[in-house]
Amino acid sequence: MSILSQNLLVIAVAVILGLAIFFGLRQKQSRNELKLQQLAADNGWQFERVRLPLAWGERYSTAQWRLEAMSTSAEVESGPGSSNIAMSTRWSSDRPGSPLLIGPRLGTASAGSMGEVLLQLTVQAALGAESSGVREVAVDDGEFSRRYLVLARHDAEAADLLTPALRQALLSATPTRPIIKRTAQGLTVEVVGVHIKDGEELLRLAHLGETLLTLLPQPENHQ
């Protein structure tokens, strides 16, 4: 066999392997999407596949809420060892109220320390102008307190919200702990850095959101 024939054979094998991998991935993606469509149908959700130039993912919705699992690519190239794709899964509902923030506890810094300053900066970044008067609410629950930080303007409202059902839903929601935020614009539950495609995790996140809706009736007026 000549050198030219050998090179052509190598190219042909590479093309065939590339096509096989491509079609294999397409079939896997199609199977995964069918599973997600079935998940939505089984639970009475609407399902929409999202395909934009720089974003892709899935959107689920009901009359009361919407859940988006998205990946977004930046237009600029990432540096070595980094990625320019941002991922997030976000449940949201039109349920406004006084400012409330529940999220993972990242440290144990006491008040007056640099940790407290960073905490206030985080609250301001998350709530914006509504961060005024928001402070940490003490929670008498060892495991929950170790894993989650609760911040609100009204202690009693936060205490009423943190039922055993909600605490359990938060503790078992997803491997990456979610962030709950309520403002005058509405209510959100977000898992940052993860594009959730696992059916069980999506169900847990939807259940967490629905649990919040039962505990947070929409007020006629809020401050």
pTM score of the predicted model: 0.77
Q: What is the pLDDT of residue 196?
A: 94
Report the chain's mean pLDDT, rounded to a whole number. Answer: 82
User: Bridge-partner residues for 82, per DSSP?
Assistant: none
More confident residue, 69 or 3: 69
Taking 80 as the threshold, does the pLDDT of residue 209 lie above it? yes
Residue 161 lies in a domain: yes
Residues 124 and 179 in one domain: yes
More confident residue, 223 or 6: 6
Give how many domains the chain has, as a whole number.
2
36 with 100, same domain: the answer is: no
**pLDDT value for 111:** 45
Distance CA 160, CA 155 (A): 9
Residue 55 structural domain: 47-215
Same domain, 62 and 166: yes
Same domain, 22 and 112: no
Tally Cβ neighbours within 10 Å of residue 153.
Answer: 20
Residues 127 and 140 occupy one common structural domain: yes
Q: Are residues 130 and 35 in the same domain?
A: no
58 and 24: one domain? no
Higher-confidence residue of 11 and 191: namely: 191
d(CA 74, CA 84): 5
- In the numeric block, which tokens belong to residue 46? 């609407």
Mean pLDDT value of segment 8-33: 66
At residue 78, what is the residue type?
S
Whether residues 190 and 84 share a domain: the answer is: yes
Do 164 and 210 belong to one domain? yes
Mapping DSSP to helix (H, G, I), strand (E, B) and coil, where does residue 148 land? strand
Q: Are residues 84 and 146 in the same domain?
A: yes
Task: Give the Cα separation of 20 and 108 in Å (integer).
Answer: 52
Residue 112 has pLDDT above 60, yes or no: no
Q: Summarize the confidence of residues 68-87 as an average pLDDT.
A: 76
> Can you spell out the DSSP letters for 54-117?
TEEEEEEE-SS-EEEEEEEE-SSPP-TT---EEEEEEEEES---S-EEEEE----PPTTSHHHH
CB-count exposure of residue 121 (10 Å: 0-12, 13-18, 19+): exposed
φ/ψ region of 44 (left if φ > 0, alpha if ψ in -120 to 50, else beta) reads left
Give CA 189 to chain center in angstroms. Answer: 7
Residues 148 and 115 both lie in one domain: yes
Q: Quickly state the pLDDT bin for 176 (edges 50, 70, 90).
A: confident
Instruction: Identify which has the larger pLDDT, 11 or 23.
Output: 11
Q: What is the pLDDT, as a whole number, of residue 31?
A: 76
Average pLDDT estimate for 33-37:
90
Q: How confident is the model at residue 57 (pLDDT cuts 50, 70, 90)?
A: very high
- What is the pLDDT confidence band of residue 195, given thresholds at 50, 70 and 90? very high
The residue written with tokens 């993972």 in the block is: 104
